[in-house]
């Protein structure tokens, strides 16, 4: 499974990248706003740091404008994946941009039907939003499982990018089901290391070591 970091914060991306935990990055207008930086500037800096795909989102809502914005974003670097919304116009933009040879991430997916349309339009990635489905009392993981089954049934090459991840359990379940990629905030990825039995075991080891009176350095 590939890990994409869901942020526009350079320092957080660099820390995970140095550990081999950043296979790509996803950004969106909200994350760019939080960073307080120019979208083209910060996207270029991230793309230079990361070898894998860096998703940069269009803000237009009509197909022709989306295509124009997408082509401009794609010029930033070869590893840019243009992110478009899962609307009819977004699918038109996806088709045009993928035909140009650009990677396309179709975002805001909430149903199997939408995922099928995105795959047929040539999407490189489909981004089902797990957390937002959980927010309305639906199980977001069910959608990941359903898309995985349908894509496997028909040999669609579009990669499932599990998004709107709120917890380490979302990551574990996405891996179990077979999502190709997860995108999560840095804090959630780092929280995967935590387990109370690890903390308890380490405390015991350190206490026993203290009793020996020895030092390694």
Give the pTM: 0.94
What does the pLDDT look like over 37-88, one tens digit per residue?
Answer: 888 999 999 999 999 999 999 999 999 999 999 999 999 999 999 999 999 9
What does the pLDDT look like over 135-159, one tens digit per residue?
Answer: 999 999 999 999 999 999 999 999 9
- Rounded distance, CA 107 to CA 95, Å? 14
Structural domains of the chain sorted by starting position, each given as residue range(s) with its CATH number in brackets:
2-212 (3.20.20.70)
Q: Dihedral, CA atoms, 147, 153, 156, 162, nearest 10 degrees?
A: 20
In 10 A of CB 29, how many CB atoms? 13
pLDDT at 203: 97
Q: What is the mean pLDDT of the chain?
A: 96
Tell me if residue 190 is catalytic. no
**Which one is catalytic: 83, 120, 190, 211?**
83
pLDDT at 38: 87
């Amino acid at each position: 499974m590939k890990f994409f970091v869901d942020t526009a914060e350079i320092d957080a991306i660099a820390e995970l990248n140095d550990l081999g935990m950043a296979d790509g990055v996803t950004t969106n207008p909200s994350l760019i706003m939080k960073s307080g930086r120019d979208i083209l500037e910060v996207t270029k800096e991230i793309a230079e740091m990361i070898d894998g795909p860096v998703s940069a989102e269009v803000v237009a809502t009509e197909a022709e404008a989306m295509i124009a914005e997408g082509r401009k974003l794609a010029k930033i670097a070869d590893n840019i994946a243009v992110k478009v919304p899962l609307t009819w116009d977004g699918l038109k933009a996806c088709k045009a941009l993928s035909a140009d040879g650009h990677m396309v991430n179709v975002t805001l997916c909430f149903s199997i039907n939408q995922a099928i349309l995105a795959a047929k339009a040539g999407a490189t990635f489909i981004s089902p939003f797990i957390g937002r489905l959980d927010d309305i009392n639906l199980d977001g993981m069910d959608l990941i499982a359903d898309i995985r089954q349908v894509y496997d049934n028909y040999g669609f090459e579009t990669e499932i990018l599990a998004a709107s991840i709120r917890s380490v359990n979302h990551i574990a379940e996405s891996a179990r089901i077979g999502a190709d990629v997860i995108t999560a905030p840095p804090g959630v990825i780092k929280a995967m290391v935590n387990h109370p039995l690890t903390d308890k075991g380490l405390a015991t080891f350190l206490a026993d070591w203290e009793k020996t009176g020895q030092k390694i350095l």
